Structure 1
Amino acid sequence: MVANWVSFNVIDTEKLDWAHDWSALKTFAEREAHARVPYDHKEGAYPLGQWIAEQRRAYGAGQMTGLRAQRLD
């Protein structure tokens, strides 16, 4: 019963962080009409270029599947 409560009531910060980062990428792509973010690019203080480089690396290495991979396609 406790495990069920925890699974429904604990915030998954990794998912929230990825959703926030994905949102920053969408904002960039809508503004620039592409998603080729330079490595040193920042959205405000957020290092979007570094984040997308890591996502591309994980995707290329086959370490990313599911919805995240679909969104990056």
Structure 2
Amino acid sequence: MVADWVSFNVIDTERQDWARGWAALKRFAEREHHARVPYGHGEGAAPLGQWVAEQRGAYRAGQMTGQRAQRLERLGMVWCLADERFQENL
């Protein structure tokens, strides 16, 4: 019973939060033609820039599933902004 409660109230909520963040990033990327979201940027009430920074952190820490990483990469996710800026300046 406890496992069901945790699954419903924690795991499903996390999935829903991730799905909302991904949808907000998708809207941003379609509108701006890139996925380099400034940290302080929000989409409506959603703090999208913070969400993107959390995804980068999870990716670096090896805590992100391959499926999620692929979904973000299809939107043009930049995992390391410093590396991208370096490449642009070459």
TM-score, normalised relative to structure 2: 0.66
Which residue number corresponds to residue 46 of structure 1?
46
Percent of residue pairs identical: 71
Distance 1:45 1:16 in 2: 16
Distance 1:17 1:57 in 2: 16
Indicate yes or no: 2:54 matched with 1:65.
no
Once the 2 structures are TM-superposed, how far is the Cα of residue 69 of structure 1 from its aligned partner? 1.2
Distance 2:44 2:15 in 1: 21
Distance 1:20 1:64 in 2: 16
Q: Give the 4+ runs in structure 1 shifted more than 6 A.
A: none
Query: What is the aligned-residue RMSD (CA, Å)?
Result: 1.9
Once the 2 structures are TM-superposed, how far is the Cα of residue 51 of structure 1 from its aligned partner? 0.4
**Which runs of no fewer than 5 residues in structure 2 stay unpaired?**
74-90
Q: Which structure is richer in relative contact order (CA contacts within 8 A, separation 6 or more)?
A: 2
Once the 2 structures are TM-superposed, how far is the Cα of residue 16 of structure 1 from its aligned partner? 1.3
Which residue number corresponds to residue 31 of structure 1?
31
TM-score, normalised relative to structure 1: 0.80
Distance 1:65 1:44 in 2: 27
**Which runs of no fewer than 5 residues in structure 1 stay unpaired?**
none
Provide the aligned length of Structure 1 versus Structure 2.
68
Which residue number corresponds to residue 16 of structure 1?
16
